[in-house]
């Protein structure tokens, strides 16, 4: 049986492990964290990712929360456009799913035999011929999937000329709330700020706020800081901040790969997920693209005799699409969260108000029209 090592037990790495196992390979996953678990409150999965997960044998439909019509509003609380979850579902054939990250990682992890999943193991070196080294040993694999995230060590080692991920100038606060009593995707778009709310199963709510900030700035009382800085933002932000227990609030700076990689391959090593194309979160597609990568890689492996041919196919299929979506995500940020000039903000808001709702739906759903290949 041919063997693969997956470096990283995040969304991309676990999806790749499931797909490669379906292609008949023996897979070993190394994850440096002591436990394989999801950090980061919630995540939205678009229909492109839901279809890919179905190919991996996971049906997330039971976790879907019916999304009633929500609103996108400006910083004064004025209506900008409708966010119609039902219309998204009609256009895309599937709903947009909000899910707790821990729940998603649990679902993926359960599909990988525990004996093949090694948590608490940091990979310290990978070579293009498939050699993988970690603190306690070394092995050789027919394929190495580097799914080690935005600050990928494998990418740094094997693509030494690439500048790596850069700070986007924005930071993100996120939390998961119980008993929210809210339904419908909704948000607030202010100057240099975006707030989003995504209902999850069990009456929970995932909310996030992205805003400008110097890299690395942290606050002794982050909720107090948000209340002060965004005191003029409309409801429901004040209510969300009041309802958020301090230990539930997460704060991460946003990084992205601004220089697209010329290839995702080095010999028998393939970059996947954020390691390959870390993007800004403004389209909610980073994790979705990692899942797409995994399915395309597994399908290519199942469909080609030679690993080299399979990898060449993977690179051809995945690089243009994932890098185009990363670019579009950046553009969405430039037109949305990153816009600070008051005149530009007013013009953007006017476009939102005047454009037919169907146009916003088309723009928001463009990346989600994708059909995965079957594995084998």
**For 10, what's the count of Cα atoms within 13 Å in the CB-facing half-sphere?**
24
Show the site string, 205-244: x = touches ligand FAD by CB under 6 A, - = not. ---x------------------------------------
- Please state the closest distance from residue 239 (CB atom) to ligand FAD, in A: 21
Q: By C-beta, is 349 or 361 nearer to ligand FAD?
A: 361
Q: Binding residue for ligand FAD (CB under 6 A) from 6, 12, 257, 296?
A: 12
Q: By C-beta, is 236 or 287 nearer to ligand FAD?
A: 287
Is residue 13 near ligand FAD by the rule CB under 6 A? yes
Contact 298, 373 (CB under 8 A): no
Is residue 290 near ligand FAD by the rule CB under 6 A? yes
Is residue 254 near ligand FAD by the rule CB under 6 A? yes
CA 254 to chain centre: 12
Q: By C-beta, is 11 or 195 nearer to ligand FAD?
A: 11
- Please state the closest distance from residue 339 (CB atom) to ligand FAD, in A: 18
Q: How far apart are CA 337 and CA 229, in angstroms?
A: 16
Q: Binding residue for ligand FAD (CB under 6 A) from 4, 123, 256, 326?
A: 123
Tell me which long-range contacts 190-194 makes (C-beta under 8 A, separation of at least 24).
190/74, 190/75, 190/230, 190/233, 190/345, 191/75, 191/339, 191/340, 191/341, 191/342, 191/345, 192/337, 192/338, 192/339, 192/340, 193/75, 193/230, 193/233, 193/337, 194/282, 194/336, 194/337
Is residue 105 near ligand FAD by the rule CB under 6 A? no
Q: Which of residues 135-174 bind ligand FAD (CB under 6 A)?
A: 147-150, 153, 172, 174
Question: What sign for the dihedral angle of Cα 36, 39, 41, 43?
Answer: negative
Is residue 43 near ligand FAD by the rule CB under 6 A? yes
Residues forming the site for ligand FAD (CB under 6 A): 7-13, 30-33, 43-44, 122-123, 147-150, 153, 172, 174, 208, 252, 254, 273-275, 281, 284-288, 290
């Amino acid at each position: 049986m041919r063997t693969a090592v997956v470096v990283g037990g995040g969304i991309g790495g676990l999806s790749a492990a499931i797909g490669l196992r379906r292609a008949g390979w023996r897979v070993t996953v190394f994850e440096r964290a002591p436990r394989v678990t999801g950090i980061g409150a919630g995540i939205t999965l678009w229909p492109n990712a839901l279809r890919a997960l179905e190919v991996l044998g996971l049906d997330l439909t039971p976790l879907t929360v019916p999304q009633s019509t929500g609103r996108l509003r400006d910083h004064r609380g004025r209506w900008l456009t409708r966010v119609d979850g039902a219309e998204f579902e009609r256009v895309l054939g599937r709903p947009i799913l909000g899910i707790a990250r821990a729940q998603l990682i649990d679902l993926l992890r359960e599909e990988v035999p525990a004996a093949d999943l090694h948590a608490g193991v940091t990979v310290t070196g990978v070579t293009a011929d498939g050699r993988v080294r970690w603190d306690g040993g070394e092995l050789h694999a027919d394929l190495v999937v580097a799914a080690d995230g935005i600050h990928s060590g494998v990418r740094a080692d094997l693509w030494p000329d690439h500048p790596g991920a850069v700070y986007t100038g924005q930071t993100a606060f996120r939390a998961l709330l119980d008993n929210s009593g809210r339904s419908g995707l909704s948000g607030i778009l202010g100057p240099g700020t975006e707030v989003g709310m995504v209902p999850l199963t069990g009456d929970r709510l995932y909310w996030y706020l992205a805003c400008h900030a110097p890299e690395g700035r942290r606050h002794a009382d982050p909720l107090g800081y948000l209340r002060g800085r965004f005191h003029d933002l409309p409801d429901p932000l004040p209510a969300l901040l009041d309802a958020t227990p301090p230990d539930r609030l997460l704060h991460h700076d946003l990084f992205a790969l601004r220089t697209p990689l010329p290839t995702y391959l080095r010999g028998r090593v393939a970059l996947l997920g954020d390691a390959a194309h870390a993007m800004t979160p403004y389209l909610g597609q980073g994790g979705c693209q990692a899942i797409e990568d995994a399915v395309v890689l597994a399908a290519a492996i199942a469909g080609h005799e030679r690993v080299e041919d399979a990898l060449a196919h993977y690179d051809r299929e995945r690089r243009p699409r994932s890098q185009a979506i990363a670019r579009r995500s950046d553009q969405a940020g430039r037109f949305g969260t990153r816009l600070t000039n008051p005149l530009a903000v007013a013009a953007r808001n006017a476009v939102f108000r005047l454009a037919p709702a169907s146009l916003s739906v088309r723009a928001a759903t463009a990346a989600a029209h994708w059909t995965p290949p079957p594995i084998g």
